[in-house]
Amino acid sequence: MEPYVLGYKFRIYPNKTQQRLINRTLGCCRFVYNHFLAVHRDQWQANHRSVSYFETCKLLTDLKRQEETSWLKEADSMALQESLRNLDNAFQNFWKLHTGYPRFKSKHSHSQSYRTRNQKNGIRIVDKRIKLPKIGFVKIKQSRDCDGRILSATISRTASSKYFVSFCMEQDKENLVRPNAGGMIGIDVGIRAFYTDSLGHIVENPRHLNRFLAKLKREQRRLSRKMPKSQNRDKARIRVARIHEKIANIRKDFLHKHSTQLARENQTIAVEQLNIKGMLRNHKLAQAISDVSWSEFFRQLTYKTELHGGELLKVDTFYPSSQTCSVCGYQNALAKDLSVREWDCPECGMHHDRDVNAAKNILRKALEDKSKVA
């Protein structure tokens, strides 16, 4: 059977001692990352030479033996190695993908995490508890069953001081794949409506942020008036963080429900390939585009269609789906205006809803492109 790696995320409830151990490990991983980032920087400035991952592993061993940093031995050794791996990946991305130069991690960042590997069954779930290296058995709220081999686990602490564990699990793909209903559908995403499909169904945009915007602004104003480093400021910060988490959780729940429904009902799903990063440069629409989360929606559709045995087809960004008549193919230049929500085709006289017509064209174009490749 073909192995398939999936990620699962559950909330954990460590006791006071376990919280201190997790927080200490977070601090050790941050220290190791920052220390060897400085080593990379100094080596390049002095000798124009980069430091490899294996060199940093040897230096980490020497660092543990030094008296002033012997406290690193108290942390999970695999977590420290994974911190070095993260630093190496950051430099690889910097050199090859031209991303930004790696930055030092701040202890004042309220949302932090570390990753550890599963060796000798050191990470396992037993009776509503999960065994974590150096931490022990921690109470876990497991919302679904998952059978397979755990490869690694990421322990995270959110800005509101909640703890979560995310683990990569290797499972048999044949046991995961669920057959779909065999439909074909085109999807046109938008801001007014979350998406409109080629069958004429419209899913309204719930505008999650707008529902909590007034409350969020009020709590942020209260936070700004608190004295720095005071307990009241920390309480106000947590209230703001909880509102952000609530918005994010509602948004994720909405996206998962609709992406799962689409993957279960359709064999072929066609979408438009959007340059979302470019669209976010429009400051008038950036907040609305971020709130609607097209990137996350497309990401979920990608892996869910695969798990349900379907396919996700993408149409070129510059294809004029809204301007083309889905019946005769006439291209109406007047439909470029976004305020035109309905129009009649001058060629065949067909009346079109802008979004439904675009969804039909996206499906047709995606199937045409697929046939050409085949």
Averaged over successive runs of 10 residues, the pLDDT of the chain (374 residues) comes to 84 97 96 97 92 95 94 95 96 92 90 93 92 96 88 95 94 82 94 93 94 96 94 94 95 96 96 92 92 95 93 93 89 85 88 92 93 79
Selected catalytic residue, list 76, 82, 88, 188: 188
pLDDT of residue 147: 84
Catalytic residue (choose from 76, 82, 197, 355)? 355
Smallest Cα–Cα separation from 25: which of 89, 125, 112, 103? Answer: 112
Among candidate residues 208, 179, 182, 184, the one with its CA nearest the CA of residue 197:
184
What is the SS3 assignment for 69? helix
350 to each of 202, 302, 345, how far by Cα in Å? 20, 34, 5
* 88 catalytic residue (yes or no): no
- Decide: 116 and 152 in contact? Cβ < 8 Å: yes
Contact 53, 88 (CB under 8 A): yes
Name the H helices within the chain: 16-47, 53-65, 77-96, 173-176, 208-224, 231-265, 276-279, 286-292, 294-307, 354-373
DSSP 237: H
181, 266 Cβ separation under 8 angstroms: yes
For the stretch 284-293, contacts whose Cβ atoms lie closer than 8 Å and that sit 24 or more positions apart, written own/partner, are 285/191, 287/209, 288/191, 289/191, 291/207, 291/208, 291/209, 291/210, 291/251, 292/189, 292/191, 292/194, 292/205, 293/251, 293/255
Residue among 210, 309, 195, 199 nearest 257 (CA): 195
Looking at residue 177, what is its pLDDT? 79
Residue 141: closest CA among 303, 9, 306, 314: 9
Max Cα–Cα distance, the chain, nearest Å:
84
Choice among 272, 311, 337, 353 that is catalytic: 272
The per-residue pLDDT for 1 is: 54
CA 1 distance to own-chain centroid = 28
pLDDT of residue 2: 67
Active site residue 188: yes
For the entire predicted model, the pTM comes to 0.89
The predicted pLDDT at position 59 comes to 95
pLDDT of residue 75: 94
Alpha helices in 118-207 (DSSP H): 173-176
> Among this protein's residues, is 82 annotated catalytic?
no
Per-residue pLDDT, 108: 85
Name which of 367, 374, 255, 368 is nearest 311 in CA terms.
Answer: 367
